[in-house]
Amino acid sequence: MGAPLLEMRSIVKTFPGVRALSDVSLTVAPGEVHAVCGENGAGKSTLMKVLSGVHPHGSYEGDILFQGAPCAFKDMRASEARGIVIIHQELALVPYLSIAENIFLGNEHARRGIVSWGATLKHAARLMKRVGLREHPQTRVADIGVGKQQLVEIAKALSKEVRLLILDEPTAALNDEDSAHLLGLILELKDQGIASIIISHKLNEIAAVADSVTVLRDGRTIETLDVKAPDTTEERIIRSMVGRDLDHRFPERTPYAGDPGAHPALEVRDWTVHHPIDQQRKVVDDVTLHVRRGEIVGVAGLMGAGRTELAMSVFGRSYGRGISGTVWKDGHRIRTRTVPEAVGHGIAYVTEDRKHYGLNLIDTISRNITLGALGKVSRRGIVDEHEERRVAESYRTSMGIKAPTVFEQVGRLSGGNQQKVVLSKWIFAGPDVLILDEPTRGIDVGAKYEIYTVIDRLAAQGKAVVFISSELPELLGMCDRVYTMAAGRLTGETARADATQEVLMRLMTTHDMTTNKR
């Protein structure tokens, strides 16, 4: 093997009160696809921010060598000048500029301050062809999907003569088709001699494209494995990530055995929702479903099936226009025309987009946990800060939220710990029904197990849980029944004993209700 493309030696990075990285080392060969994995909070993103200059030289200890030469990057521009480009999980694109403008933003084709649009469009078209984008270069970024926006970011990286591409959870928000295209592109770039570092929780993707995988745990390098070696199994990687064997991916669950004659805790009947802009289009079409106390009911469907639209429209009509149908709770018809009405009836919704809709990232853990039920920690309209802190401390302990204090800013927490704060907020509100929309998205296997345990405990306490997920093994491992949706319509209802990935996938790709085992 020749000289390494990248060496990171004994990297130490400390934030106030927290050592995020402790003696971490990483080596990447030329043209290699190198995966970095670990639990949320293991230090993966911090390590990449050190490499890319987001955390500048002098703010960390240790050495970085690129193509054999020492590096002391003062910012991202300095690392990009050497051919190291990072694509963050939250894409850095301007939605109302064109694809071409985004590709060359800050790196314009210009002379004496005047942009050459002919050269810009011509060069953008070449880069777009290289990554498989067929749109016109003048198409607005706001008018293309997230999968294509990822490709714009890669085209942007190629415009900077990238030698090492860093991708942080590149497929977290993509559907299966877009994910497959992106992973294929990474392999094409490898054939062109471009190395990649991929941060991912999806072990099947690591197995598909990576040559090596480095596992971090608690800010330390645990081991680097050859992905193609016979003993590099998912179980081996998981054991390195969490420091223990995970014999079961899901907690042992006693199947629901409630009173079948009791009224459902929540029942939605004949529910129809129209698109908020194109009001002729139905995004949810005549859906009827129910969930009983103590039951976990899954909702499965491909991208665009209408699962999130269904959940948001039931929860205070947070989405859609021209909504019709009825909502029933414990046998009584209720109104959920607004979010306060829905919350008042004991319904909680944990959004799939926790950073935009679930949390106030610039506020503390304490304030976020009590935000959904401030009346419980207030007297005469004034928040009792001592009581608020006591409540937050109890959830920090019971939910295993990893933070030095409850006054830690939520935006600084890992994804798994942020999700625990969201769940704590709604559990504190005391709902009877929890609608969980992709509750483990972007979370590692160890943190997933902890959240599954919380969900299972809530069901055991008599809460009714609606569990929306794109991961079929998750639905099969957690749910008592699974509804399937396609194109806004309910296409099936399958009992736990009869549910397999094949059965669910068949129902998710049909447009007729083929089974109803209610």
The percentage of residues in the chain with a pLDDT greater than 90, rounded to a whole number, is 51
Report, as an integer, the average pLDDT of 419-437: 90
In this structure, the strands spanning 110-111 and 61-66 are: unpaired
Between these two residues, 114 and 515, which has the higher pLDDT value? 114
Q: What percent of the chain has pLDDT over 70?
A: 95
45 pLDDT band (50/70/90 cuts)? confident
Which one has a higher pLDDT value, 292 or 511? 292
Confidence of residue 501 (pLDDT cuts 50, 70, 90): confident
Q: For all residues of the chain together, what is the average pLDDT?
A: 88
Distance from C-alpha of 245 to C-alpha of 247, rounded to nearest angstrom: 6
**Do 6-242 and 264-346+431-518 share a fold?**
yes
**pLDDT range class, residue 448, cuts 50, 70, 90:** confident
Per-domain residue ranges of the chain: 6-242, 264-346+431-518, 361-427
SS3 (DSSP) at 513: coil
Comparing 442 with 465, which gets the higher pLDDT? 465
Would the pLDDT of 8 be above 50? yes
pLDDT at 419 exceeding the cut of 90: no
Closest CA to 414 of 446, 437, 453, 391: 446
How much is the pLDDT for 518?
38
Does residue 245 register a pLDDT over 70?
Answer: no
Determine the pLDDT at residue 516. Answer: 40
Give the chain's radius of gyration (CA, Å). 24
Closest of 265, 307, 257 to residue 467, by C-alpha: 307
Please give the average per-residue pLDDT across 162-168, as a whole number: 92
Residue 40 has pLDDT above 80, yes or no: no
Beta-carbon contacts of residue 300 (< 8 Å; ≥ 6 apart): 307, 469, 470, 472, 475, 482, 483, 484, 485, 504, 507, 508
Question: Are 42 and 240 a contacting pair, CB within 8 Å?
Answer: no
Q: What are the tokens at 43?
A: 């230090």
Of 172-181, 303-312, 321-330, give the range with the top mean pLDDT: 321-330
What is the structure's pLDDT at 247? 55
Q: Residue 188 corresponds to which amino acid?
A: E
pLDDT at residue 196, rounded to an integer: 95
| pLDDT score for 513 | 55
Q: Is the pLDDT of residue 223 over 80?
A: yes
The pTM (predicted TM-score) of the whole model is 0.64
Whole-Å CA distances, 327 to 309, 311, 312, 477 = 15, 12, 13, 28
- Mean pLDDT across 75-91: 89
> Each residue of 248-296: pLDDT tens digit?
678 887 777 667 778 999 999 999 999 888 888 899 999 999 999 999 9
Give the model's pLDDT for residue 248: 66
pLDDT in tens, 65-77: 999 999 999 999 9
Q: What is the pLDDT of residue 346?
A: 93
Mean pLDDT to the nearest integer, 106-128: 88
pLDDT tens profile 461-480: 899 999 999 888 889 999 99
* 264-346+431-518 topology per CATH: Rossmann fold (3.40.50)
Q: What is the pLDDT of residue 514?
A: 43
Say whether pLDDT at 138 is over 80.
yes
E strand or H helix that includes residue 365? helix 365-370
What fold characterizes domain 6-242?
Rossmann fold (3.40.50)
